[in-house]
Amino acid sequence: MVIALMCLFPYFYLLFFYYDIEGEMRRSIVINMVMSIGAFFATVVIIPVASKYVLRRNMFGYDINKKGSPQGSIKVPEALGLVTGVVYLVVAILFQHFNFTSDSVWLVEYNAALGSICFMLFLGFVDDVLDIPWRIKLFLPSIAALPLLMAYAGHTTIVIPKPLHSYLGIQVLDLGWIYKLYMFLLAVFCTNSINIHAGINGLEVGQTIVISSAILIHNLMQIGISPEADYKQAHAFSIYLIQPFVGASLGLLSYNWYPSSVFVGDTFTYFAGMTMAVVGILGHFSETLLLFFLPQVLNFLYSCPQLFKIVPCPRHRLPSYDPQTQVLTGSRDMNLVNLFLRLFGRCSELSLCIKLLAFQALSCAFCFGLRYVMTGWYK
């Protein structure tokens, strides 16, 4: 929780002390923030109740990273990401009462975004219940992205990097349907990349909170420096969608942090990935979003030989646990979790999670630094 608050501190500073944001927009952001705090408390209250019902339906798992210890024999309720998703959707829908009118130009895309997120939440829960094969899992986000793609009415142009202007003779290129294909692939990647960068207590929720904090900071910086009203509104729109997600996810993290008393399931990883993809697409900063996803990109590329069966791939690509010393040892499986253990040595599950989240935060900081250096030269 301390790590999460550290990531959010720059956002609060920029919002309340640094940027002079137009009154109506600031009011909407603050109302959304208050509702997001409500989402946090609602999630904290509901999860223990939902856990009992989940256990009654025999939806539980055992913590493989504690196998051989007393904690490894405890039944841990699964798929509690469902609570986070439902709370998020309720808050996001209620927020429309405070910010959108029936003729608002943003209302269609806002509801389409919620439709895609809700669809992905449902499919993630179906996966947790039915244990869908991996090859089919890859295509679930493509179904959930359809409402957003069909309702998207924004631009399909890209700004050509300045060094290429003299070679191409144009500054802006309209990609048409290719841009929508790119949005489709981005949604598929974001959703699956969160799902495969997982396996230890707190990692799935922790990484999404770090990325979401970076998204909030980026949006606020763009609102603060841009003179264009439509550009500001796009980033404010992104804030309205991501703040409640952070609030609800923090509530889930309080139970999923080491030692975890609930598992988030594919329900949460799919829901989280789609939420961030939607925010990046509708906020028009998909390039920056991919930079925030740098650890997930590296994990995906490193995992490709196993994901595509070039190298044998076990069901759980987890490190081995020593119950005597209570530390994890990296296996030869190809993911960042095991790579960190092989590079930096054996450590506890808590220490490993903190290292991976620190790497996520440093990657986001690198993204901000890169944008600062490239501004005015690249675009």
pLDDT tens across 52-99, in order?
Answer: 999 999 999 999 899 888 888 899 999 999 999 999 999 999 999 888
Rounded CA separation 117/121 (Å): 6
- Is residue 355 packed enough to be buried (19+ CB in 10 Å), middle (13-18) or exposed (0-12)? middle
Residue 106's identity, in one-letter code, is W
pLDDT over 90 (residue 6): no
**225 within domain boundaries:** yes
Stated pTM of the model: 0.95
Tell me if 239 is assigned to some domain: yes
User: pLDDT-derived band of residue 245, with 50, 70 and 90 as boundaries?
Assistant: very high
Least Cα distance to 91 among 251, 221, 223, 225 occurs for 251
Domain range for 93 is: 2-293
Check pLDDT > 80 for residue 363. Answer: yes
Give how many domains the chain has, as a whole number.
Answer: 1
Q: Is residue 121 part of a domain?
A: yes
Checking if the pLDDT of 224 tops 80, the result is yes
Q: Among the ranges 4-13, 158-167, 237-246, which has the highest mean pLDDT value?
A: 237-246
Spatial separation of the C-alpha atoms in residues 271 and 87, rounded to whole Å: 12
Q: How confident is residue 194, by pLDDT bands cut at 50, 70 and 90?
A: very high
What is the arithmetic mean of pLDDT over 216-235? 90
Token digits of residue 318: 């987890």
Assigned domain for 334 exists: no
Q: Span 226-251, mean pLDDT?
A: 92
pLDDT for 376 equals 67
Evaluate whether residue 12 is within a structural domain. Answer: yes
Cα 113 from chain centroid? 14
For position 225, what pLDDT does the model report?
87
Per-residue pLDDT band at 379 (split at 50, 70, 90): low
In a domain? residue 368:
no
Mean pLDDT in the chain? 90
CA dist 16 and 311 (Å) reads 51
Opening angle at CA 224, ends 284 and 27, nearest 5: 95
pLDDT band of residue 368 (cuts 50, 70, 90) is very high
The mean pLDDT value for 359-371 works out to 93
Q: What is the pLDDT of residue 154?
A: 75
Q: What pLDDT sits at residue 166?
A: 75
Q: What is the pLDDT of residue 158?
A: 80
pLDDT in tens, 120-175: 999 999 999 998 887 788 788 888 998 988 888 777 888 777 777 777 778 888 88
Q: Does residue 234 belong to any structural domain of this protein?
A: yes
What span, in angstroms and rounded, lies between the C-alpha atoms of 11 and 221? 9
Work out the average pLDDT over 258-262.
Answer: 94
Amino acid identity at 306: Q
**Residue 344 within a domain:** no
Q: Which helix (H) or strand (E) holds 95?
A: helix 81-99
Asked whether the predicted pLDDT for residue 209 surpasses 70, the reply is: yes
Q: 157: how many CB neighbours lie within 10 A of its CB? A: 12
Tokens describing residue 370: 């890169």
DSSP-assigned states of every residue in 146-195: HHHHHH--S--EEEPPGGGHHHHS-SEEE-THHHHHHHHHHHHHHHHHHH
